Every structure is written in C-alpha cells, then in structure tokens.
Amino acid sequence: MSTYIFGHTTPDSDSIVGAISLSYLKNRLGEKCTPTRQGELNPETSWILNKFNTPSPELKTSYAGEDVYLVDFSDLAQAPQDIKEANILGIVDHHKLGDITTSAPLECWIRPVGCTNTIIKQMFDYHNIEIPKELASVMLCAILSDTVIFKSPTCTKEDTKAVKELAVIAGVEDFKGLGMEMFIVKSAVVGATMRELILRDFKDFNMGSVKIGVGQLEVVDLSVFDDMKAELLADMKTLKSEGERHSVLLLLTDIMKEGSQLLVVSDDESKIESAFNMKLEDAQVWLQDVMSRKKQIIPFLEKQF
C-alpha cells in the first residue's frame, strides 16, 4: 500500500514539485510513496515538468482511509474534503501553521523560508541522499518561482543557498536567466478565461467566521491586464457568490516594478482598506513593494478578521 504526498488545491509549482521531490526522498528511505495533485497544472508548472522530462503527479482528490503527507499547506480550506478521514503522517511547509489537526504524532518540517522545496533540499542533506539531475532542476525552478527569483520578501539566505547548490547538480549556469524564462511563460494570459486566471494561483483561508479567497498572478509586465481588469472583477464577484466567500482578492504582481495591483470584491470593502491602511478606487489599489501573499497580505487580513 502506497502513501500519498500532495500539495494544496489549485496547485502551484512548489506544491507539485514538492510532492515529487518528497516522494523521491521517502522512497529512497524505504517508504513507498506516490506523488499526487489536487488540481490541474498551471502553465508554469507544465513548462517546468516538460522542460526537465518529469512526469506529472496523478490527479487524486479523495484520501479517506489513506496514509498521507502534506506539502506546502496545513490549512483545512486548502485540503481535500475528506482530509479528516485520512491518516496524516507528516507536513512539510513554509507557511503559517494552519488549522489541520492530527490524532497521532507526526513528522513536521515547517520553516520560515521562501519555498517548501528549500526545506525538502535540507531534508535530502539531513538524510545524506543524493538528488538526481532532473529532480534538482525542477526543485530549483520551484524555489525561483516561489521567491520570485529572490525578489520576494519571503526569500532567505537558505533559499539562495539551496538554488546555488541545486544549480550545480542540475548543470544550470544561469539560473536567473532560467527564472526569467519561466516567468515569461507564467505571464502568458492569451487564451485563458477570467476564471482560469483568477484560479491559477488561488487559496481560500478561514478567518474567524468568514472565508476569504486570495489569488495572485505574477507577470513581467502588468500592462497585459490593462483591458481585462473589469472582466476579472466581474468574475471575482461571481466566484465570491458561488463559494459563499466574504471577500475575493486578486494580486496582480509586476516582478519588474516590484509591486502589486490589488483587486477587491468584498461584502465590506472598509475592512480590506483598514487591513492595509489604504483607500480603494474602483475596487483596486497599487501596493508598492508588495509581492508576497503569505507575508504581506494574509497576516494583515487575519488580524482584521
């Protein structure tokens, strides 16, 4: 019987690669594990896996009665609906500690770094297990993605150290060039529906008695959204109603200007304005130097709600 390893709903590159890399490590340690995913791959993740000939984890959304490891999350709102019926053996994450609980002791690696794969790299080092070239390649891409090529305020010296060491294993000399190539793919919006864009990197959070959804799109040029903000806001309103959410926020992050345009649909805009000490105009505002959802958005919303 295999143990399943997976990341959060609407998976990003870190959660997909994290499932793959942790499964490889656990298998090398003698524990039969299978990487899985809760949702479809986004364009960036597909590009990473294709570029380095790495198979995608299988799609699996039900885990009742299964042994599991969680990567890149510990919030019930980002878990499968039947997670309380699964046996959680461990969590590897770089976010705040969420509201998932267990009935037995578990292996827990939670560290304040920029990417889950940085922690998994440290787990490889701890167990003295070699990382294959292809796996090192996708792991460094995941770290470059989550740290926005080291520009995110969540990035630490441990993340840059992990990337440099993984780049040597992968034979990648210009890892920043690789990161920019990856972000150009990530910036592609042509052909995508508004819903696909909003959900490309979207997470729900339970805050007090309400549910808040926060999405983020990271691009190299914010002008790609100039003609679609009204449509994005309209579909955010629909998504809010469908999911019985109090608010839906979308960060449009320009990695070159190092800031984000925040779009907001809410039952109470004043609470969002108070959280960030700003004034919305036409349901949006520019936030200079804001690039991290987990460090610069979620903590302020949680304090407010």
123: amino acid identity, one letter: M
Cα–Cα distance, 272 to 67 (Å, whole number): 39
Q: Does 3-184 match 194-304 in CATH topology?
A: no
Q: What is the pLDDT of residue 189?
A: 87
Task: Tell whether the torsion through CA atoms of 155, 5, 86 and 126 is positive or negative.
Answer: negative
57: amino acid identity, one letter: P
Relative to beta strand 259-266, strand 284-288 is antiparallel
Q: Which fold has domain 194-304?
A: Diaminopimelate Epimerase; Chain A, domain 1 (3.10.310)
Cα–Cα distance, 14 to 1 (Å, whole number): 26
In this structure, how many other beta carbons lie within 10 angstroms of the beta carbon of residue 195? 14
Are 65 and 81 in contact, with CB atoms under 8 Å apart?
no
Cα–Cα distance, 208 to 251 (Å, whole number): 22
Contacts of 108 (CB under 8 A, 6+ apart): 90, 91, 92
How much is the CA Rg of the chain, to the nearest whole Å? 19
In this structure, how many other beta carbons lie within 10 angstroms of the beta carbon of residue 3? 18
Please state the domain extents for the chain. 3-184, 194-304
In tens digits, the chain (305 residues) has pLDDT values of 899 999 999 999 999 999 999 999 999 999 999 999 999 999 999 999 999 999 999 999 999 999 999 999 999 999 999 999 999 999 999 999 999 999 999 999 999 999 999 999 999 999 999 999 999 999 999 999 999 999 999 999 999 999 999 999 999 999 999 999 999 998 888 889 999 999 999 999 999 899 999 999 999 999 999 999 999 999 999 999 999 999 999 999 999 999 999 999 999 999 999 999 999 999 999 999 999 999 999 999 999 99
Task: Tell whether the torsion through CA atoms of 103, 107, 112 and 114 is positive or negative.
Answer: negative
CATH 3.40.50.720 given to domain 3-184: no
Q: What is the pLDDT of residue 160?
A: 98
Q: What is the 3-state secondary structure (H, E, C) of the chain?
A: CCEEEECCCCCCHHHHHHHHHHHHHHHHCCCCEEEEECCCCCHHHHHHHHHCCCCCCEECCCCCCCEEEEECCCCHHHCCCCHHHCEEEEEEECCCCCCCCCCCCCEEEECCCCCHHHHHHHHHHHHCCCCCHHHHHHHHHHHHHHCCCCCCCCCCHHHHHHHHHHHHHHCCCCHHHHHHHHHHHHCCCCCCCHHHHHCCCEEEEEECCEEEEEEEEEECCHHHHCCCHHHHHHHHHHHHHHCCCCEEEEEEEECCCCEEEEEEEECCHHHHHHHHCCCCECCEEEEECCCCHHHHCHHHHHHHC
Cα–Cα distance, 44 to 21 (Å, whole number): 17
Relative to beta strand 247-254, strand 210-219 is parallel
Please give the backbone phi and psi of residue 250, each rounded to the nearest 5 degrees, phi first: -135, 120
pTM (whole model) above 0.85: yes
